[in-house]
C-alpha cells in the first residue's frame, strides 16, 4: 500500500466519508485540514484567536499559515510515513510552501450538477444555489491546477464519485489493489 495518499474532489464529492472509511481500512491516520482548523479555533491561543476570526468572517486561512499547520501535523509520529490527507493542498502556492510528497492522489470526480444536488440535499443554511455555485467556481479556479500537477506527475487516480458511499469506497480499494481506474 502506498503510504501518503491525498483525497481531492469538489465539495459534495464525499472526501470526508471516503477518507474515514479508507483510514479505518488501512489503519492509518486521516488528516483533515478542516478538522485541524476547527480544533485550533477552539484553543485560547493567539493562533486560535486568529483562526477563529478568519473562519468567523467566512474567509480561508492564508496559504503560508495552513501549509505550516499541515507540516507541523505531519511531523507527529503517527503519520511520518503513512497517512490520508483531506483538504491540502488546495493551491499550487500551498504546495510551494510545503509538499507532503504524496505517493498517490485519488481524485473523486463529480460533475458540478451532482455536487450541487448533493449539497442542496444536506440542507445546511449556507448551501444555497448561489453559494454552492460560488464555492465550486473557487474550487475549480484553485484546485484544477493541482489536479493537472498531480496528473503530470502520474500520481492522479481518477475515481468515479457517483453512486453510494460503499460503491465509491470499493472503487478506491480496487485502484489501491492495482485495479483499473473508473
pLDDT tens-digit readout, 45-58: 999 999 999 888 87
CATH of domain 4-176: 3.40.50.300
How far apart CA 55 and CA 59 sit, in angstroms, is 6
The whole model's pTM is what?
0.91
Mean pLDDT over 89-105 rounds to 95
Residue 81's pLDDT is 86
Sign of the alpha-carbon dihedral angle for 20, 25, 30, 32 = negative
Residue 182, pLDDT above cutoff 60: no
How far apart CA 150 and CA 153 sit, in angstroms, is 5
Residue 131's pLDDT is 87
Mean pLDDT over 8-27 rounds to 95
Mean pLDDT over 1-11 rounds to 88
**Nearest-10 crossing angle of helices 15-26, 165-176:** 50
How far apart CA 161 and CA 2 sit, in angstroms, is 21
Question: How far, CA to CA in Å, does 165 sit from each of 8, 40, 76, 151?
Answer: 15, 29, 30, 24
Q: Where are the domains of the chain?
A: 4-176
How far apart CA 11 and CA 143 sit, in angstroms, is 12
Mean pLDDT over 84-91 rounds to 94
Residue 181's pLDDT is 56
Q: How many CA atoms lie within 13 A of 128 on its CB side?
A: 5
Number of other residues whose CB lies within 10 A of the CB of residue 169: 19
pLDDT-derived band of residue 148, with 50, 70 and 90 as boundaries? very high
Residue 2's pLDDT is 67
CB-based contact 108:19 (threshold 8 Å): no
| CA neighbor of 94 nearest in space, from 33, 140, 135 | 33
Please write the tens of the pLDDT for every residue from 150-180.
Answer: 999 999 999 999 999 999 999 999 999 886 6
Amino acid at each position: 500500500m502506498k503510504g501518503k495518499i491525498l483525497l481531492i474532489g469538489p465539495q459534495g464529492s464525499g472526501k470526508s466519508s471516503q477518507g474515514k472509511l479508507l483510514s479505518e481500512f488501512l489503519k492509518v491516520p486521516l488528516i483533515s485540514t478542516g478538522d485541524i482548523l476547527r480544533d485550533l479555533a477552539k484553543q485560547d491561543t493567539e493562533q486560535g484567536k486568529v483562526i477563529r476570526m478568519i473562519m468567523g468572517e467566512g474567509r480561508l486561512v492564508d496559504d503560508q499559515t495552513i501549509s505550516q499547520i499541515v507540516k507541523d501535523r505531519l511531523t507527529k509520529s503517527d503519520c511520518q510515513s503513512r497517512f490520508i490527507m483531506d483538504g491540502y493542498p488546495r493551491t499550487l502556492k500551498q504546495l510551494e510552501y510545503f509538499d507532503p510528497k504524496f505517493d498517490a492522489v485519488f481524485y473523486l470526480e463529480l460533475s458540478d450538477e451532482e455536487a450541487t444536488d448533493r449539497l442542496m440535499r444536506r440542507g445546511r443554511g449556507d448551501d444555497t444555489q448561489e453559494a454552492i455555485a460560488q464555492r465550486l467556481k473557487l474550487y475549480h479556479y484553485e484546485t484544477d491546477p493541482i489536479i493537472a500537477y498531480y496528473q503530470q506527475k502520474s500520481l492522479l487516480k481518477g475515481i468515479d464519485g457517483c453512486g453510494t458511499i460503499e460503491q465509491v469506497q470499493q472503487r478506491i480499494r480496487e485502484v489501491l489493489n492495482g485495479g483499473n481506474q473508473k
